[in-house]
Amino acid sequence: MPDRLLVPARVIPRAAVDRAGGLRAGRLVVRVRAVPVGGAANAAAVRAIARALGVREADVRIERGSAAREKVFSVPAAAGPALAALMK
């Protein structure tokens, strides 16, 4: 079993709240209040995913797409059940 899971996500900056949950085109939807300047939206997306999965921020990594809205994050495999619930 792999020790990390890849999570395709769509990050939506300038949202009303910071929240991760739901699917859009097969990707986890992550809404953040931060603007996409200076990595602020990326940091907010990492925080939102970590909070939603109940893991540390350091356990959530951006694997691909750091400068795009569509990103691939990785999370610990132990977060699998919480991730499955979040992506419904």
- Residue 82 sits in a domain whose CATH number is 3.30.1200.10
Give first-to-last CA distance, the chain, whole Å: 23
pLDDT value at residue 88: 79
Q: Which H or E run includes 81? A: helix 80-86
Query: What's the domain count of the chain?
Result: 1
Domain with 61, as residue range(s), is 4-86
pLDDT value at residue 46: 98
- How do residues 32-65 score in pLDDT, each as one tens digit? 999 999 999 999 999 999 999 999 999 999 999 9
Q: What are the structure tokens assigned to 57, written together?
A: 């921020």
